[in-house]
Structure 1
Amino acid sequence: MYLLVYVDDLILTGNHQPTILSFILSLHNEFAIKDLGKLNYFLGLEVTYTKDGLFLNQSKYALDILTRAKMLDAKPAPTPLSTNVSFVSTGDVFPDVTLYRSIVGALQYLTITRHDIAYAVNQVSQFLHAPTTDHFQEVKRI
């Protein structure tokens, strides 16, 4: 049996139904809990049940990132990084460091289901302390 706790949300799963039901009953005797049934959405992860198991995706989370970055109408890029990108600390300082950090942090969480952007996110993460406008252009490309 596995129990995942995040603040006031719980996910309980396992392969022995009587044990799970007993544990739920014990929790219910101690706390006011509500069983929401099968998992559909948790911490930005959408869960779809298939005959082979579970399918996880973060499409809603990715759309939220695009909304925060004001890029819903942007054209997709063929690769997460420019081919001629050179990450250096010099250049025009990006004026909104908080926005940069927020978007990069969200992209880090997105790598749970999007492994293809992990390297690019790692590169832009190295400049969280002092991002430049060139760095933010690469974040927008990701």
Structure 2
Amino acid sequence: MSRHRVTRHGSREYFQRDLHSLPSIMNSLNLNYLRGLYDFLIGKNDEELEEFDINSIANQKKLFEEMRRSFLTFGPTSKKNIISGLNYILVNFSDDDLWRSAIPHDLPLNRVADRQSYLKGILFALTDASPTLVNLDDFNLIDEIGPRGLDYSK
């Protein structure tokens, strides 16, 4: 029995693990950690946010640079959670519920015109690498913040 199979999604082919031949490793994934990437925007006032066009290439470049700056201060567990979370959302970027985790919904920003490119841009800015195709079944989504908030130092 083959350990991998090729599946088609639109015009793309993906190699996927045959879930029946490999043991499943379930990872907990907390998408709330993505909020930590947006400190640059969270620190802006309403007028500045209103003027910030998230679809502008120049603004995305600045935002991604600031995201990287924040990301580099995070601990290894937080970094892993963020990268896995972005890849998880990228696999299903058209899911509106997941997308709400990609950008904090309390930020009054324009709608991102190209979700897929936006997520790939963040991932490249953070890792200097292309996104990784993840299997959604390998993750257990958790929605915990805790009484003291999220600890990005871990």
Larger helix proportion of the pair: 2
The question of a shared fold, defined as TM-score above 0.5 by the shorter chain, is answered with no
Q: Which has the higher contact order (CA 8 A, sep 6+)?
A: 2
* TM-score, reference length from structure 1: 0.32
